[in-house]
């Protein structure tokens, strides 16, 4: 046994003993519990294994949105980042959206050194560039945050401002870009009338431009860099004109896939980023902000992902620090949540072997986010991380994704490593749900069902226990609803308007296995949520959870 620090000592559980096999936490990403109707891909899919699993005796539902995962209000949907933070932390921490909103409300964001340095660069004649996801989805960003930065900068002397807009259509309605761009253009026009040179300079759909994650496709970042920094993309007189033109040229295209564009006048692009400028990437969520941050901050010769060409010397800041281990970015406006003593760290300090597996699209969720925003293992001797490379393709064309390969890799690694705890993420329900296409989402659930059945049966056959849950809802609601709850018809009358965002639905949680001697039941704690899962894992491993963890979801059958 290792020499366990006192702060991480785990007492034996008085009623539970560790099973012969692993305790496996299996996350069906983006699979919530929704109405059994024609917009529910899970309901419409043939999922015999899940159907049987959902009748298991130890099961319930968990809150995966709003205050249960640290969001500002229960009107805020959850997401994979805050969901995996809660799963791994065992407690609820205020998350990026809430932290930023509070810092703006109390003015502390404007009093910090980082913001003063940004404003100082603008006062010295530099241009302020505000870059990020332009919507109020509150998953990666919120337009209100950027407006607050704009107003304060102008009040403190900024006289030249450029926006670089990443269009959403994923966390908000799929074709709502103009609902957000038009008010911005109107505000900037009013600023110009008052003597402030404020314009939209560039933009593009988030899945095409800038917002790659986990190094899945650096070409996305390269396109954004070319447009934002060099003014190198198709030119238009305004962002509105660009969006309208792309829609006319590609009927049915949704915002997240709109090509990159540059706003230009008779003198050329209106807002390339130059030496002496200030740049704020105003997304608060880290996964899709890290790569563009690296492009801005990496020294010459230390960046090989793509040819950056001219690299401007700028004052760069992120809304938050996106990776604490790598200290990216060096300058940030709001401190991220300080998540300590996660489940993974407790197990590492106590010498238990751990295994984390997913494909590229969600690999960081079972590692970085699950570990409380730490990218490195706590103990390389006992932790093993397995990444299955994702396909670089529209996931509606590959709805099965890498579910089979994830299962293969997990079972093989269990046999090789003999871990006590395993965590796995199947991205299908989320990544295919975000496409807004019902049939591929149905296929994704059927592929998940096959893979899940093999994995759960494999865990049980090895004497383990499987906890099957999700991090938030998505594919169970593929159509938009009006305020009365009815599906919203498409404008062309052909079916219903797709819903590409996450949902407010609870997620399932089923616990099976443990061998013939298993005799535990659902404990029904008050307001169960994702943060209750960490204590549940510890309980099933035979440990008493720390006192400040949310209580376990299981208790011994008397």
Residues marked active site are found at 80
Residues making up the chain, counted from first to last: 558
Distance of CA 480 to the CA centre of its chain: 21
Question: Which strands make up the sheet holding 59-62, listed edge to edge?
Answer: 59-62, 507-513, 465-469, 23-28, 421-426, 354-359, 383-388
Distances (CA, A) of 347 to 5, 10, 111, 182, 379: 12, 9, 39, 51, 10
For residue 353, which of 450, 269, 464, 192 has the smallest C-alpha distance? 464
Neighbouring-strand partners of residue 198: 161
Question: In sequence order, which residues have a C-beta less than 8 Å from that of residue 134 and are 6 or more positions away?
Answer: 141, 143, 146, 163, 165, 166, 167, 168, 177, 180, 181, 184, 203
Rounded distance, CA 447 to CA 398, Å?
A: 10
Q: How large is the angle between the packed helices 96-105 and 143-155, nearest 10 degrees?
A: 30
Q: Report yes or no: 557 and 519 within 8 Å, Cβ to Cβ.
A: yes
* 433 burial type by CB count under 10 A (0-12 exposed, 13-18 middle, 19+ buried): buried
The alpha-carbon radius of gyration of the chain (Å, integer) is 24
3-state SS, residue 435: helix
Phi, psi of 534 (to 5 degrees): -60, -45
Rounded distance, CA 101 to CA 75, Å?
A: 15
Rounded distance, CA 398 to CA 143, Å?
A: 33
Task: Tell whether omega for the bond before 533 is within 30 degrees of 0, i.e. cis.
Answer: no
Q: How large is the angle between the packed helices 143-155 and 113-123, nearest 10 degrees?
A: 60
Rounded distance, CA 538 to CA 186, Å?
A: 54
3-state SS, residue 57: coil
3-state SS, residue 236: strand
Rounded distance, CA 367 to CA 498, Å?
A: 31
Neighbouring-strand partners of residue 279: 129, 316
Pairing of strands 520-522, 554-556: antiparallel
How many other CB atoms are found less than 10 A from the CB of residue 464? Answer: 25
Phi, psi of 315 (to 5 degrees): -90, 105
For residue 121, which of 148, 164, 161, 151 has the smallest C-alpha distance? 161
Neighbouring-strand partners of residue 163: 130, 200
Q: Report yes or no: 276 and 126 within 8 Å, Cβ to Cβ.
A: yes
- Which residue, chain included where needed, has tokens 């293969």? 408
């Amino acid at each position: 046994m290792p020499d366990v620090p006192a702060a991480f000592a785990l007492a034996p559980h008085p009623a539970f003993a560790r099973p012969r096999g692993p305790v496996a936490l299996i996350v069906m990403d983006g699979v919530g519990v929704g109405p059994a109707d024609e917009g529910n891909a899970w309901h419409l899919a043939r999922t015999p294994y899940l159907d049987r699993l959902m009748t298991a005796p130890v099961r319930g539902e968990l809150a995966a949105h709003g205050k249960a995962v640290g969001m500002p209000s229960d009107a805020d949907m959850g997401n994979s980042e805050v969901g995996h933070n809660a799963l791994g932390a065992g407690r609820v921490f205020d998350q990026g959206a809430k932290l930023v909103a509070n810092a703006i409300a109390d003015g502390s964001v404007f009093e910090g050194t980082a913001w003063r340095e940004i404003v100082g660069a603008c006062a010295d004649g530099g241009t302020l560039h505000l870059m990020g996801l332009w919507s109020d989805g509150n998953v990666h960003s919120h337009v209100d945050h950027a407006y607050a930065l704009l107003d304060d900068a102008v009040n403190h002397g900024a006289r030249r401002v450029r926006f670089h807009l990443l269009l959403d259509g994923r966390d908000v309605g799929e074709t709502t870009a103009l609902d957000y761009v038009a008010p911005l253009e109107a505000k900037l026009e009013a600023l110009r009338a008052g003597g402030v040179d404020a314009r939209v300079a560039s933009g593009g759909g988030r899945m095409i431009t800038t917002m790659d994650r986990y190094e899945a496709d650096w070409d996305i970042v390269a396109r954004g860099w070319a447009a934002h920094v060099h003014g190198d993309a198709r030119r238009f007189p305004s962002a509105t004109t660009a969006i309208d033109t792309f829609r006319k040229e590609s009927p049915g295209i949704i915002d997240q896939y709109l090509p990159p564009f540059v706003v230009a006048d008779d003198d050329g692009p209106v807002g390339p980023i130059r030496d002496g400028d200030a740049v704020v990437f105003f997304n608060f969520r880290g996964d899709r902000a890290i790569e563009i941050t690296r492009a801005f901050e990496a020294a010459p010769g230390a960046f090989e992902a793509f040819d950056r060409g001219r690299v401007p010397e700028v004052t760069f800041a992120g809304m938050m620090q996106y990776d604490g281990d790598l200290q990216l970015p060096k300058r940030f406006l709001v401190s991220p949540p300080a998540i300590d003593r996660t489940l993974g760290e407790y197990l590492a300090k106590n010498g238990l072997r751990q295994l984390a597996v997913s494909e590229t699209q969600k690999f960081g969720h079972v590692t970085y986010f699950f570990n409380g925003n730490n990218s490195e293992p706590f103990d390389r001797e006992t932790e093993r991380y397995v990444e299955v490379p994702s396909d670089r393709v529209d996931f509606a064309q590959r709805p099965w994704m890498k579910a089979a390969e994830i299962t293969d890799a997990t079972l093989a690694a269990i046999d090789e490593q003999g871990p006590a705890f395993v965590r796995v993420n199947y991205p299908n329900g989320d990544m295919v749900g975000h496409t807004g296409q019902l049939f591929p989402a149905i296929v994704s659930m059927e592929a998940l069902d096959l893979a899940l059945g093999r994995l759960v049966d494999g865990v049980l056959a090895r004497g383990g226990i499987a906890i099957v849950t999700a991090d938030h809802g998505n594919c169970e609601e593929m159509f938009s609803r009006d305020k009365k709850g009815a599906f919203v018809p498409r404008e062309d009358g052909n079916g219903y308007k797709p819903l590409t965002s996450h949902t407010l639905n609870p997620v399932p949680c089923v616990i099976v296995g443990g061998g013939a001697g298993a005799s535990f039941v659902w404990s029904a704690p008050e307001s169960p949520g994702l943060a209750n899962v960490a204590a549940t894992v510890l309980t099933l491993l035979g440990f008493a959870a720390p006192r400040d963890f949310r209580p376990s979801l299981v208790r011994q059958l008397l």
